[in-house]
């Protein structure tokens, strides 16, 4: 069993990043113009990295399967981005952000990476403000903050419920400047099909032009993968329909270790599943938990009456409501971390207190916040004896200013007015903490292949705190990778252009072509979606919010059989050498069918509960996750060996020199 070298620099935690930047090699500005870098994925991590690398003088090629970089799934992020600026004067600091992130990840993340993330977080806000990102501001003009789950301070900067969109537009504008300068070549509607290795180093990719169907060869001195997470292995998730694992998985097949695949986040605040024909789920921002109170009926007969449509939630008296998060976790209340809130919702619904027709929903209620804000606004407006109607009207105006687009989205989807009746929410697959293993430099186990943002595993451990995804993506792209990649590229200043007419490119293109032909050769019994949905049900039922040994073993067997059936019987219409969206989907689902089995294998081997990984055999008497720090305080990185069942485990032991490992409590 191999031991991985994380290349974490020595010295005090707070000095590691500064020391590392001073010690690593740099590339002379005159030499940067002779070096080519490929960036796959143009969301926050990829867009920020591409713009910064081009600004530094490198020649950059970017690839995305969307018709524009600004359609990356980062645009869907709603609630905000964390940074330890302590604008509220409530005791925040780099160390507190670091500590909250480590604790939120249930002590399964790399200490040095997380501290670096906290350290550069403030720079991100300054960078984005300079780009013109319209963050919310207080009356006096200062940037506003709100709180998110798992913390006791307000450190989340936001732009209503559109933070991801505004941040991505900032990165996109920075990219466009470099495209105009000729430093970035942008390839849209292109999908990476394979990574090309020359003498063991990542030297290019095979990409498919999704409009013409042609395969293309692109070379570079390094390849950066910033292609997001793999939540769509569950079919139903909050991810965009096109989000996939292909780029990361193809790198995995070429030698990049895949770390902690079972660490997947279930988000507690999503619109519940409505039926079998649904193709994706919709997230309601965690920021809503700042002001919304989560509850279910206390009495079973009330829950049954609500499910049968005989009782409305607004008719239920306050004393008949169970605000179960406030009851169980008084210190954090509705702002416990996502994994805790999700399991609590599942527990209440499994016990029979769910409030929609399927019994899989709880309420998120804003009535108290509307009244509270209404009274405050009435007083500040000089209305001393406001009646209830006026208070509610004023309170709704405040809520609209903070969350208006989210309420509008909910009403369009559900056809209920959330100002007047509580929202219905239920947990759903959202973010993946697992991903390609990277060292402190964000380099995978393949020299020259880097992974940034959600595509890597590095910062969030077993559970990501809300508003930390945007923080990590932009930290990696703007402030980490542009430094660390130079250390590797400093050895390539005399290499010259990487030719694409080599045996390595020939072989890689041949393998891609053969794989597509194999996909097209199925007998045509079932559609691609048929297999994706079947995989999703196995994953949700047996590898979802709760796992156990028996069902994980069943999942491994069932996924293996499903994969065999897929390759024999899938129906892919159209032709290879033309626009073919069914072929695109088939390639992605083929990779999900391998990842799904490795996911279950990883969950089976980890005999503990931590963060989003909840093994039913390992829990406290109160139903909380029960870690095993003695045996599982490590990163599980899997090496590809041909079949997921044969994957070889490598460990990176996690060392905590600056934090005491404690039972994670939010009470």
- C-alpha 582/C-alpha 572 separation (Å) is 6
- CA max distance for the chain: 82
In which element (H, E) is residue 512 found?
helix 503-520
DSSP for residue 351 = I
N-to-C CA span, the chain:
39
Estimate to the nearest angstrom the gap between the alpha carbon of 544 and the chain centroid: 16
- C-alpha 338/C-alpha 346 separation (Å) is 12
In which element (H, E) is residue 567 found?
helix 549-569
Q: How many CB atoms sit inside 10 A of residue 351's CB?
A: 12
Q: Name the nearest CA neighbour of 540 among 286, 249, 288, 342.
A: 342
What contacts 298, CB < 8 A, 6 or more positions away?
319, 320, 321, 322
- C-alpha 635/C-alpha 657 separation (Å) is 17
Q: In what order do the strands lie in the sheet with 258-259?
A: 435-436, 258-259, 634-639, 648-653
- C-alpha 565/C-alpha 363 separation (Å) is 41
Estimate to the nearest angstrom the gap between the alpha carbon of 335 and the chain centroid: 19
Joined together, the tokens standing for residue 148 give 């998110």
Of these residues, 108, 338, 606, 664, which one is catalytic?
A: 338
Q: In what order do the strands lie in the sheet with 222-225?
A: 184-187, 59-63, 36-40, 222-225, 449-451
- C-alpha 592/C-alpha 66 separation (Å) is 20
Q: 338 catalytic, yes or no?
A: yes
Q: Are strands 201-209 and 215-219 parallel, antiparallel or unpaired?
A: antiparallel
- C-alpha 254/C-alpha 235 separation (Å) is 25
What contacts 14, CB < 8 A, 6 or more positions away?
94, 115, 119
Q: How many CB atoms sit inside 10 A of residue 45's CB?
A: 36
Joined together, the tokens standing for residue 436 give 């390609």
DSSP for residue 405 = H
User: In sequence order, what DSSP letters do the residues of 349-409 get, joined into one string?
Assistant: IIIII--STTS--EEEE-HHHHHHHHHHHHHHTT-TT--HHHHHHHHHHHHHHHHHHHHHH
- C-alpha 209/C-alpha 99 separation (Å) is 44
Q: Is 298 strand, coil or helix?
A: coil
612 touches 227 (CB < 8 A):
no
Beta-bridge partner residues of 570: 526
In which element (H, E) is residue 450 found?
strand 449-451
60 touches 33 (CB < 8 A):
no
344 touches 623 (CB < 8 A):
no
What contacts 23, CB < 8 A, 6 or more positions away?
9
Q: In what order do the strands lie in the sheet with 215-219?
A: 190-198, 201-209, 215-219
Estimate to the nearest angstrom the gap between the alpha carbon of 482 and the chain centroid: 22
Give the active site residues.
Answer: 338
């Amino acid at each position: 069993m191999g031991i991985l070298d994380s290349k974490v620099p020595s010295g005090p935690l707070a000095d590691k990043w500064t020391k590392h930047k001073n010690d690593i090699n740099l590339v002379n500005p005159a030499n940067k113009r002779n070096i080519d870098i490929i960036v796959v994925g143009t969301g926050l991590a990829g867009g920020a990295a591409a713009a910064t690398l081009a600004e530094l003088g490198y020649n950059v090629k970017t690839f995305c399967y969307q018709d524009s970089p600004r359609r990356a799934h980062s645009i869907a992020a709603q609630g905000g981005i964390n940074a330890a600026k302590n604008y509220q004067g409530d005791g925040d600091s780099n160390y507190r952000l670091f500590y909250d992130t480590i604790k939120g990840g249930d002590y399964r993340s790399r200490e040095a990476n997380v501290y670096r993330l906290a350290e550069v977080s403030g720079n991100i806000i300054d960078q984005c403000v300079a780009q013109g990102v319209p963050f919310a501001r207080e009356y006096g003009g200062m940037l506003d903050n709100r709180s998110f789950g798992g913390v006791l301070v307000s450190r989340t900067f936001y732009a209503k419920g559109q933070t991801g969109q505004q941040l991505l537009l900032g990165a996109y504008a920075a990219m466009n400047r470099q495209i105009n300068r000729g430093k970035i070549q942008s390839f849209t509607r292109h999908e990476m099909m394979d990574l090309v290795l020359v003498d063991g180093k990542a030297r290019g990719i095979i990409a498919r032009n999704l409009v013409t169907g042609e395969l293309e060869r692109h070379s570079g001195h390094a390849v950066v993968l910033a292609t997001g997470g793999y939540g769509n292995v569950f079919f139903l998730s909050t991810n965009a329909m096109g989000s996939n694992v292909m780029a990361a998985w193809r790198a995995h097949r070429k030698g990049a270790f895949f770390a902690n695949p079972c660490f997947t986040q279930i988000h507690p605040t999503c619109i519940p599943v409505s039926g079998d024909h649904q193709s994706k789920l919709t997230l309601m921002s965690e920021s809503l938990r700042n002001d919304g109170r989560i509850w279910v009926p206390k009495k079973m007969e009330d829950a049954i009456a609500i499910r049968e449509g005989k009782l409305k939630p607004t008719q239920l008296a306050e004393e008949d409501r169970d605000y179960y998060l406030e009851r169980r976790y008084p210190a954090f209340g509705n702002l416990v971390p996502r994994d805790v809130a999700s399991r609590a919702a599942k527990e209440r619904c499994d016990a029979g207190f769910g409030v929609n027709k399927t019994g899989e929903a709880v309420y998120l209620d804003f009535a108290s916040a509307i009244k509270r804000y209404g009274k405050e606004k009435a007083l500040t407006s000089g209305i001393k004896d406001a009646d209830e109607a006026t208070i509610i009207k004023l309170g709704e105006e405040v809520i609209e200013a903070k969350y208006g687009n989210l309420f509008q989205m909910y009403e369009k989807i559900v056809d209920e007015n959330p100002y007047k009746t509580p929202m219905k929410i239920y947990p759903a697959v959202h973010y993946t903490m697992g991903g390609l293993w990277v060292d402190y430099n964000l380099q995978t186990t393949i020299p020259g292949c880097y992974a940034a943002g959600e595509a890597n595993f590095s910062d969030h451990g077993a559970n990501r705190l809300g508003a930390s995804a945007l923080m990590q993506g932009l930290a990696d792209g703007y402030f980490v990778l542009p430094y660390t990649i130079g250390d590797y590229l400093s050895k390539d200043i005399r290499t010259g252009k990487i030719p694409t007419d080599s045996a390595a490119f020939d072989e890689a293109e041949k393998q891609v072509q053969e794989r597509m032909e194999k996909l097209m050769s199925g007998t045509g019994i079932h559609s691609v979606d048929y297999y994706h949905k079947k995989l999703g049900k196995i994953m949700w039922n047996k590898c979802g919010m709760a796992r156990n040994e028996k069902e994980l073993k069943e999942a491994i067997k069932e996924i293996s059989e499903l994969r065999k059936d897929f390759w024999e019987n899938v129906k892919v219409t159209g032709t290879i050498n033309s626009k073919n969206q069914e072929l695109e989907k088939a390639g992605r689902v083929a990779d999900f069918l391998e990842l799904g089995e490795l996911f279950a294998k990883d969950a089976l081997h980890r005999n503990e509960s931590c963060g989003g990984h909840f093994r039913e055999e390992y829990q406290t008497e109160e139903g909380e996750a029960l870690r095993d720090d003695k045996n599982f305080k490590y990163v599980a990185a899997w090496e590809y060996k041909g079949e997921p069942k044969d994957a070889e485990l490598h460990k990176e032991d996690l060392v905590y020199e600056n934090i005491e490992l404690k039972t994670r409590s939010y009470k």
